[in-house]
Amino acid sequence: MAAVAALPPKAAPFDPETVRADFPILERRVHDRPLVYLDNAATTQKPRAVLDAEDRFYRRHNANVHRAIHTLGNEATVAYEQAREAVGRHLGAADGRGVVFLRNATEALNLVAWAWARRRLRPGDEILLTPMEHHSNLVPWQMVARETGARLRFIPVGPDGALEMDALDRDGLLGPRTRVVAFAHCSNVLGTITPAEELCRRARAVGAVSVVDAAQSVPHAPVDVGRLGCDFLAFSGHKTYGPMGVGVLWGRPERLEAMEPLFGGGEMILKVELESATWNEVPWKFEAGTPNVAGAVGLAAACAYVRDLGQDRIAAHEAALTRLALDGLGDCPGVTIHGPGPGSPRGALVAWSADGVHPHDLAQYLDQEGIAIRAGHHCAQPLMRQLGVVATARASFGLYNTAAEVEALVGAVRRAREFFHA
Amino acid sequence: MAAVAALPPKAAPFDPETVRADFPILERRVHDRPLVYLDNAATTQKPRAVLDAEDRFYRRHNANVHRAIHTLGNEATVAYEQAREAVGRHLGAADGRGVVFLRNATEALNLVAWAWARRRLRPGDEILLTPMEHHSNLVPWQMVARETGARLRFIPVGPDGALEMDALDRDGLLGPRTRVVAFAHCSNVLGTITPAEELCRRARAVGAVSVVDAAQSVPHAPVDVGRLGCDFLAFSGHKTYGPMGVGVLWGRPERLEAMEPLFGGGEMILKVELESATWNEVPWKFEAGTPNVAGAVGLAAACAYVRDLGQDRIAAHEAALTRLALDGLGDCPGVTIHGPGPGSPRGALVAWSADGVHPHDLAQYLDQEGIAIRAGHHCAQPLMRQLGVVATARASFGLYNTAAEVEALVGAVRRAREFFHA
Amino acid sequence: MPETPDAALEELYREVILDHYKHPRNRGRLDGPGAEAVELQNPTCGDEIRLSVRVQDDRLADLRFEGRGCSISMASASLMTEACRGLTRDEAVALCAGFKAMLAGAGEPERLGDLAALSGVAQFPVRVKCATLGWNALLRALGGGAAAGDGGAMDA
Amino acid sequence: MPETPDAALEELYREVILDHYKHPRNRGRLDGPGAEAVELQNPTCGDEIRLSVRVQDDRLADLRFEGRGCSISMASASLMTEACRGLTRDEAVALCAGFKAMLAGAGEPERLGDLAALSGVAQFPVRVKCATLGWNALLRALGGGAAAGDGGAMDA
Ligand SMILES: Cc1ncc(COP(=O)(O)O)c(C=O)c1O
Ligand SMILES: Cc1ncc(COP(=O)(O)O)c(C=O)c1O
């Protein structure tokens, strides 16, 4: 996924105005101004197709899955397993076998850390990460490293936001001790697109498993697990136009087979005695308890929605917005943009610092104009420290954002500077 | 909660016909017959109030929580934290501090097993359970026992479905080695109501923590964590008229304070360095990643819904249905009812075996008449073995069920016997 | 879809099935040389089967089963033991494929003899696992395919 | 609610606040006998404060702070150091309670002197944590109350 790099869309260019009506919340006004929602990296808004899919499930088919003979139970099971297939195919897999439905990307990453790594890592083993990971792809590895005696290593991030891939060999970061290579496909702060295929290949070459945090890539461009060559990939439904409360761990079926379940309970067992139990097949053995069936159905509807619009066209549209924001904000006095400069691949988000205006204050100011951006550490405190800031402001784009909204953002950022006498 | 035992409802008796219109799915027809949904112990149907609460959240306020300064983020945070307060109060707590939002009861029980017990148990320590636990309150303890060397012990269940409380002392089941006492408040197969207050008190007396699996009690009667005196209590939103994908662990705040988080990630941290992290306060430190905000809002709406109808009135109504089913099924030739006999406290469900008609075949037959019951091991295989069956049929009631539906069930069970020449 | 509930049910529960359920053929176990036993369970419902097969000169010389389950799973196992006796391994595997195709609503039931009695199961997807329990045990006994459910085990 | 966006903002960002933000009073650290330092962070946004307090004869003889954060958190800390200097422990705790009451939309801001400049924060619930960061550090330094966020620590 090189969101900005290669963009000759096959079909007609994408017109966001035509899709805005699909998102009921976009009619909302905030402080008497139209809502300009630029916090899509935190969570996206939901199209009617997703809300309706969940609603229809509850109004027509709601039942628990897998164990029922009655009609609703059967319909719910079929809907749930079809959602799994749909998500699997959305990730380029042949079917849904590798798709484990969980709560969010965080739970998916923790499952790999706890169920795969904790049982396998030994003192001296290494987990290779990057310093720009979201806490959700950092803290679980810290916890597991502490339990197992494994060591965390980090691929440095250069001033341009790119991973210093030379360091892999130069500093001996990747080698026979490496057991896990885990990294964000797209940084949620810098927007950096990491060389995921290369990292997965290099992980494989040393016998390490690769774990791709795709929370910020799946929403914006086609992601193909086969092409990436990863062992595990995690993303959240709510960041990709789907409902909250559903996330996905995709795992290469052989890996999932070899992995022990983390949670015990209903659905994940085959045979239970008082003192022992045997496990169900993959992927069900990782889904203890009643799943979020409506959530999975909603997520499948979200996948269908973006596919119908055309993922490449959406990516091109978002890339154009990102370029506009980079240019516009870059021209604002006192603004420093973090991450890759123009021309480098970049996800659909821009984070910046503004001299004399703390990001909170800026976000507060923008909110009064109806513009929602995020200010804070973006769950990436170590990266903030490297950038030498406690917080940044971040605008992140979705398929329904428009060039006019980006212009509104840029104008408001300029006015904020005046307001705060910066 | 003695669902059947004590029932003088203060207000007018409850008329289910008046509430059926609140549940859109009840208009559904199955095999050209009106749906008779008697699988409420697996999952309940959702009233419009719950569907609308979720929908309204997505159409008006959807945003990620806790970290946003913008208006939607603030509204979402307030909605989420208000839902926490509402759920806390629904459980009789003063506030929401002890409420951890998770995926389902299974995840809640696993959290206690993994985050509390795994870090504290030593070889020789004991975990006291019952043989009628749902797999979700059995398998996690098996897993943790295996890791820690702790031993599982079981309070026997007598032929009447009651726990043999004498055995606690007689067989030395409860003593200084007991570290955890975990049990279902209401059995999902037998309907047995366990002496939860007494078990919690006895657990406390020996310094053990008590864990109440309230998946089948919270939906049917007021449950008060203070009165119970428990340390932890788990239930699922989807079984109590709320959405799927949200469950609750309530923990006594001191216990939660002392408990390490299980999952690492966003939301649950205070300060993160590359190699280390400190945790946020209780309960947030257990909620890694983006929570199911809409789900929590929906669950709060479900709590409000049953409170408005009157939990005591609902309990009385369901008790009457249960009595009707016990009488009607008890009169069917060849039917053996499992669990407490008439007069003993019992949850709103009845499981039975019918000579010569396998529960699957019975469920299939009933489905053709539009009647949804459950057939199987109900995620309680060890109990099935004690009952000497592989599966049973189970009808379980919700507030919208009617006496006529119970009569339809009984009539169909009789006809099934003829159909299968039993 | 058959029109009335009863028609659908009659389709599912043909007389042959109820007969094999009430009077299962080839119940029991096999010991001695060449006998292979496999136990399998359907995790969704708890149905269990223990299938013994004796292969001689590449042929299924004898099959016996024990188990507990619904009419569909037990009748299917009983019918299977009859249908497979005397077949070569390859023939048995092929028959199994044909049988599964029928349950998926495809294939040619009329070529399956008595097994065609189970064709009504195709209308009831949840019951397909019941009908295939015995067959998956057979595949396992013949050393073949990924039969349902043995992801791993844990003994506490 | 103030009517126009700008009115609401002016209410939140009174001149006093912007002034204390640009020109914080009592920046720095205290050493020596009786000096107590506390570090605190707002997990939601990363704002940090390091507050030093010297108590002499039960009075807050001196307060200094360092930190990084938004105008609200830094101005609030700066205003606090001025308002608390010379108070007894009990008076400081009481002032803190009065200040928090104001942020909850209650209390009597007019009795809080310059601190009343922060009353506009009550309209912006997410910012309350910003305004209380310094005060929670003070409470902690005085050995009191459950200040925000130290559930535990982990060092990998
Ligand atoms: C007694 C009991 N405990 C736990 C559970 C598990 O609930 P869930 O599947 O929602 O996690 C159930 C429901 O199946 C139950 O009946
Ligand atoms: C790169 C990245 N990884 C992981 C996450 C965690 O996602 P969630 O909070 O949905 O678990 C996020 C979102 O905040 C993210 O941006």
State pLDDT tens for residues B51-82: 999 999 999 999 999 878 899 999 999 999 99
| Structural domain count of chain D | 1
The DSSP result for B317-341, as a single string, is: HHHHHHHHHHHHHHTSTTEEEES--
Separation between Cα atoms, residue B283 and residue B249, nearest integer Å: 10
- pLDDT of D116: 94
Fold of the domain spanning A2-43+310-416 = Aspartate Aminotransferase, domain 1 (3.90.1150)
Cβ separation of A140 and B379 shorter than 8 Å? no
pLDDT grade for B136, boundaries at 50, 70 and 90: very high
A196 touches A224 (CB < 8 A) = no
Residue A332 is among the residues annotated as catalytic for this protein = no
More confident residue, D7 or A378: A378
Among candidates A202, A212, A211, A121, which has minimal Cα distance to A168? A202
Q: Is A44 touching ligand 2 by the criterion CB < 6 Å?
A: no
pLDDT grade for A3, boundaries at 50, 70 and 90: very low
Residue with tokens 């290369």: A198
Which chain D residue has the Cα nearest residue B264? D154
Q: What is the percent of chain B with per-residue pLDDT over 70, rounded to a whole number?
A: 97
More confident residue, B390 or A111: A111
pLDDT grade for D37, boundaries at 50, 70 and 90: very high
pLDDT exceeds 80 at position A128: yes
The amino acid present at B421, given as its one-letter code, is H
pLDDT grade for A312, boundaries at 50, 70 and 90: very high
A389 touches A335 (CB < 8 A) = no
| CA–CA–CA angle D18, D20, D25 (5° rounding) | 170
Nearest by CB to residue B282, choosing from D41, D126, D151, is: D151
Average pLDDT, stretch C112-134? 90
| Beta bridge pairs of residue A193 | A186
Bridge-based pairing of strands B151-154 and B126-129 is parallel
Q: Is D46 on the interface with A (CB under 8 A)?
A: yes
Domain ranges of chain B: 2-43+310-416, 50-307
Q: Is B22 touching ligand 1 by the criterion CB < 6 Å?
A: no
CA–centroid distance, residue B349 to ligand 1 (Å)? 14
Query: Mapping DSSP to helix (H, G, I), strand (E, B) and coil, where does residue A92 land?
Result: coil
Residue D151 lies in a domain: no
Q: Is B119 on the interface with A (CB under 8 A)?
A: no
Average pLDDT, stretch A369-393? 93
**CATH class as words, domain A50-307:** alpha beta
Report cis status (omega within 30 of 0) of the bond before B283.
Answer: yes
Q: Is D43 on the interface with B (CB under 8 A)?
A: yes
Cβ-Cβ contacts under 8 Å for C59 (sequence gap 6 or more): C86, C87, C88, C89
pLDDT exceeds 60 at position B105: yes
The amino acid present at A362, given as its one-letter code, is L
Q: In chain D, what are the helix, strand and coil shares in percent, each to the nearest 5?
A: 50, 20, 30
pLDDT grade for B2, boundaries at 50, 70 and 90: very low
Query: Mapping DSSP to helix (H, G, I), strand (E, B) and coil, where does residue C89 land?
Result: helix
Q: Is B134 touching ligand 1 by the criterion CB < 6 Å?
A: yes
Cβ-Cβ contacts under 8 Å for A298 (sequence gap 6 or more): A46, A50, A51, A53, A54, A57, A237, A242, A243, A246
Instruction: Provide the token pair at A79.
Output: 């809907």
| Beta bridge pairs of residue B372 | B37
CB within 8 Å of chain B, chain A residues 45-104: 45-46, 51, 54-55, 58-60, 62-64, 67-73, 102-104
Question: Any idea which of A146-155, B192-201, D117-126 has the lowest mean pLDDT?
Answer: D117-126
Cβ-Cβ contacts under 8 Å for A4 (sequence gap 6 or more): A319, A322, A323, A344, A345, A346
Separation between Cα atoms, residue B58 and residue B79, nearest integer Å: 12
pLDDT grade for A10, boundaries at 50, 70 and 90: low
Residue D147 lies in a domain: no
pLDDT exceeds 50 at position B254: yes
pLDDT grade for C5, boundaries at 50, 70 and 90: low
Residue C101 lies in a domain: yes
Instruction: Provide the token pair at C61.
Output: 């010389």
Q: Is B188 touching ligand 1 by the criterion CB < 6 Å?
A: yes
Cβ separation of A360 and D127 shorter than 8 Å? yes
Q: How far B146 CA lies from chain A's nearest CA (Å)?
A: 9
Residue A389, phi then psi, degrees to nearest 5: -135, 160
Size of interface B-D (CB pairs under 8 A): 54
pLDDT exceeds 60 at position A9: no
Cβ separation of D5 and A368 shorter than 8 Å? yes
Which chain B residue has the Cα nearest residue D125? B74
A390 touches A377 (CB < 8 A) = yes
- pLDDT of C2: 40
Residue D135 lies in a domain: yes
pLDDT grade for A8, boundaries at 50, 70 and 90: very low
Average pLDDT, stretch B141-154? 98
Question: Please, what is the end-to-end C-alpha distance for chain C in angstroms?
Answer: 48
Instruction: Provide the token pair at C91.
Output: 């023939």
Q: Is B105 touching ligand 1 by the criterion CB < 6 Å?
A: yes
Q: Is C5 on the interface with A (CB under 8 A)?
A: no
Separation between Cα atoms, residue B381 and residue B392, nearest integer Å: 11
Separation between Cα atoms, residue D98 and residue A31, nearest integer Å: 30
State pLDDT tens for residues C30-70: 988 889 999 998 877 778 999 999 999 999 999 999 999 99
B324 touches B112 (CB < 8 A) = no
Residue D116 lies in a domain: yes
Cβ separation of A376 and D44 shorter than 8 Å? yes
Residue C33 lies in a domain: yes
pLDDT grade for C146, boundaries at 50, 70 and 90: very low
Q: How far D22 CA lies from chain A's nearest CA (Å)?
A: 9
Instruction: Provide the token pair at D146.
Output: 């459950």
Ligand closest to Cα of B217 equals: 1
Separation between Cα atoms, residue C133 and residue C123, nearest integer Å: 17
Q: Is A40 touching ligand 2 by the criterion CB < 6 Å?
A: no
Neighbours of A383 (CB within 10 A): 28
Average pLDDT, stretch A288-311? 98
pLDDT exceeds 70 at position A38: yes
The amino acid present at A315, given as its one-letter code, is A
Q: Please give the C-alpha separations between residue B148 and each of A112, A347, B126, in angstroms, as whole numbers.
A: 21, 45, 10
pLDDT exceeds 60 at position C115: yes
- pLDDT of B6: 44
- Chain A residues within 8 Å of chain C (Cβ atoms): 66-69, 73-74, 77-78, 257, 260, 269-271, 275-282, 285
pLDDT exceeds 50 at position A1: no
Neighbours of A286 (CB within 10 A): 25
The amino acid present at B94, given as its one-letter code, is A
What single-letter DSSP state applies at residue A24? Answer: G
CA gyration radius, chain A? 22
B11 touches B267 (CB < 8 A) = no
Query: What's CA B200's distance to the chain center, in Å?
Result: 18
Average pLDDT, stretch D67-87? 95
Cβ separation of C156 and A275 shorter than 8 Å? yes
State pLDDT tens for residues A222-273: 999 999 999 999 999 999 999 999 999 999 999 999 999 999 998 898 889 9
**Strand blocks (E) in D23-151:** 35-41, 48-56, 59-68
- pLDDT of C147: 41
Average pLDDT, stretch D114-141? 92
pLDDT grade for D154, boundaries at 50, 70 and 90: very low
Query: Mapping DSSP to helix (H, G, I), strand (E, B) and coil, where does residue A376 land?
Result: strand
Instruction: Provide the token pair at A168.
Output: 């892999």
- pLDDT of D144: 61
Instruction: Quote the mean pLDDT of chain A.
Output: 95
pLDDT grade for B10, boundaries at 50, 70 and 90: low
Among candidates A232, A311, A400, A341, which has minimal Cα distance to A3? A311
Separation between Cα atoms, residue A315 and residue A3, nearest integer Å: 6
Report cis status (omega within 30 of 0) of the bond before D109.
Answer: no
Average pLDDT, stretch B336-362? 93
CA–centroid distance, residue B238 to ligand 1 (Å)? 10
The DSSP result for A140-176, as a single string, is: HHHHHHHHHT-EEEE--B-TTS-B-TTHHHHTT-SST
Separation between Cα atoms, residue C99 and residue C93, nearest integer Å: 10
* CATH code of the domain covering residue D53: 3.90.1010.10
Give the chains touching C; criterion: ≥3 Cβ pairs < 8 Å.
Answer: A, B
Separation between Cα atoms, residue D122 and residue D31, nearest integer Å: 35
B237 touches A100 (CB < 8 A) = no
Considering only CA atoms, which residue is closest to atom 14 of ligand 2? Answer: A42
Residue B149, phi then psi, degrees to nearest 5: 85, 5
Handedness of CA A410, A415, A418, A419 (dihedral sign): negative
B415 touches B421 (CB < 8 A) = no
CA–centroid distance, residue A216 to ligand 2 (Å)? 7
Average pLDDT, stretch A50-66? 96
Q: Is B218 touching ligand 1 by the criterion CB < 6 Å?
A: no
pLDDT exceeds 60 at position A6: no
Bridge-based pairing of strands B247-251 and B99-102 is antiparallel
Question: What is the domain extent for residue C122?
Answer: 5-142
